[in-house]
Structure 1
Amino acid sequence: MDDPPLKTLVVDDEPLATERLQLLLARIGGVDLVGTASDGEAACRMAEALRPDLLLLDIAMPGMDGIDVARTLAHSAGRPAVVFVTAFDQFAVSAFEVEAVDYLVKPVDPARLERALQRARDHLDLRASGTAPPPPAGRYLDEFWASDLTGLVRIRSIDIDRVSAERDYMRLHVGTRSWLIHHSMAALEEGLDPAVFVRLHRSAIVRRDFITGFQRNASGRWIARLGDGSEQPVGRLYADSVRAIAGR
């Protein structure tokens, strides 16, 4: 028997973003769009009245933002599952602190939205059965959107070889190409899966399987050899990472 449609409330202060989500949901199917709201206060009122299963919720809105909406509804009866849909990937850690089911970065990829809807269904099914839902599958960032001369480029986290800091920006290195994003190194360290990435320096994060070896320089400091033939000095504060990777 098919699952009942997800009663869904879309919350975004940008009419074009709301319209795009409505079109995507119509194409995917399995969703009953019960309403749209353009600010946080309206979202809370509508959620209380309509009792949706799911909120597709923007974060950066005037007044009450999406994080505040999620915190408010977390204490309501029959609280909805929350999937954040935002143009800003730097909010991911805060989003999962309020137990969001998933986190999508605009412009939303249809296949990625479909996966988020399935995660919401699984989350609601587990909660209905009395089983504690597992930690969100999207606890760590799995994609970034960066600007280039043609517009926006989607970069999968798993494709990133290393990250280097450039003042207030981070450079994502993928093969011979790289892109700048406005982020902090600390937020990236929290947002990237530590089973996949390791911080080796205050200005460098490297994918673990991109590291081919370590050696010491003349002063005794560790140097990581990387898959593209380059080398990354290991900061003294991160020497324990070398020992952990090498199992020593």
Structure 2
Amino acid sequence: MTDTLLKILIADDEPLAAERLQMLLARLEGVNLVGTAHDGESAVRMAEALQPDLVLLDIAMPGLDGIEVARALSRQAQSPAVVFVTAFDQFAVAAFDVAAIDYLMKPVDADRLGRSIERARAYLDSRAQQPPPTAAPDTSPWLEEFWASDLSGLVRISACDIDRVTAERDYMRLHVGKRSWLIHHSMTALEEGLSPELFVRLHRSAIVRRDFIAGFSRNSSGRWIARLADGNEQPVGRLYADQVRAIAGR
């Protein structure tokens, strides 16, 4: 793959957006645009016929949307790499759930597209060097990572690195050291998705990593307070007092 042309298929229902991608690709070396699809169904058909290495895929399209197209492509014998190109940032988590290589926001920057192309090339090279799997590996039932937006684009956050989660209306804030990111999730879904061996819910609006808890104390009204490793304190909700006793072995 390193020494060959990277075959690319564009799938975008907006003619101007597709034309911009075509112009940007024309400036890059080592790529070959093999076709342009303008809806989800034609994107799947063209991918089957043309066997592209990479699909630059819009999400909001008539018929099959980009997420559905990516799922269909993943079932092909030699599935192409997928980079989403969209005007909407709220689909980031769903995009990486279908193993997208990257997620570009419109209007696409030339340098950013170039980095995505190289990322796809590296992914395809790595995949080509891997031996075929002999058996399906065991998969964890728990959430292992999150993707959140920041000023540079998207950042991957490993679940085991999260110190605590706090609720902010319809969003959850993931705290990692001195930094934090907002994701669109519910506290209940996170409680069900995070491993109970690693995390414990202490309040209706707070989940804390177990080894981030330094100790417990009571306030003047007798309510439990969790002392955290960073020096902060987290009140324990009355409904979650049993969690304190379970952690302390009482």
TM-score normalised by L of structure 2? 0.61
Q: Is the 8 A contact 1:172 1:178 kept in 2?
A: yes
Gaps of 5+ in 2: none
Match of 1:236 among 233, 240, 244: 240
Residue 40 (structure 1) shift: 0.6
CA RMSD between the two structures: 4.9
Which residue pairs with 2:17 in the alignment? Answer: 16
Match of 2:205 among 203, 206, 211: 203
The SS at the match of 1:64 is coil
Which residue pairs with 1:149 in the alignment? Answer: none
Question: What do residues 130-180 of structure 1 show as CA deviations (whole Å, max 9, x unaligned)?
Answer: 346989xxx96564225xxxxx56463379765422222334557778665
1:121 aligns with 2:122: no
The separation in 1 between residues aligned to 2:20 and 2:89, in whole angstroms, is: 19
The separation in 1 between residues aligned to 2:137 and 2:31, in whole angstroms, is: 23
1:227 aligns with 2:230: yes
The separation in 2 between residues aligned to 1:166 and 1:25, in whole angstroms, is: 44
The separation in 1 between residues aligned to 2:162 and 2:19, in whole angstroms, is: 31
The separation in 1 between residues aligned to 2:6 and 2:40, in whole angstroms, is: 21
- The one-letter code matched in structure 2 to 1:88 is D
1:145 aligns with 2:144: no
The SS at the match of 1:52 is coil
Relative distance call for 1:198 and 1:7 in structure 2 (3 A) is: farther
The separation in 1 between residues aligned to 2:190 and 2:104, in whole angstroms, is: 15
Which residue pairs with 1:106 in the alignment? Answer: 105
Please show how residues 1-248 of structure 1 align to structure 2 within 5 Å: 2-14=2-14, 15-16=16-17, 19=20, 23=24, 26-27=27-28, 29-86=29-86, 87-90=88-91, 92=93, 95-96=96-97, 98=98, 100=99, 102-104=101-103, 106=105, 109=112, 113=116, 114-126=118-130, 129-131=131-133, 143-145=147-149, 154=153, 156=155, 157=157, 162-171=164-173, 182-185=184-187, 198=199, 200=201, 201-205=203-207, 211=212, 213-217=214-218, 221=224, 223-227=226-230, 229-231=232-234, 233=236, 236=240, 239=243, 243=247
The separation in 2 between residues aligned to 1:48 and 1:117, in whole angstroms, is: 20
Relative distance call for 1:205 and 1:101 in structure 2 (3 A) is: same
Question: How many pairs were matched up?
Answer: 230
The separation in 1 between residues aligned to 2:83 and 2:181, in whole angstroms, is: 27
Residue 47 (structure 1) shift: 0.8
Percent identity of equivalent pairs: 46
Gaps of 5+ in 1: 147-151
Residue 41 (structure 1) shift: 1.4
- The one-letter code matched in structure 1 to 2:103 is L
The separation in 1 between residues aligned to 2:241 and 2:5, in whole angstroms, is: 51
- The one-letter code matched in structure 2 to 1:9 is L
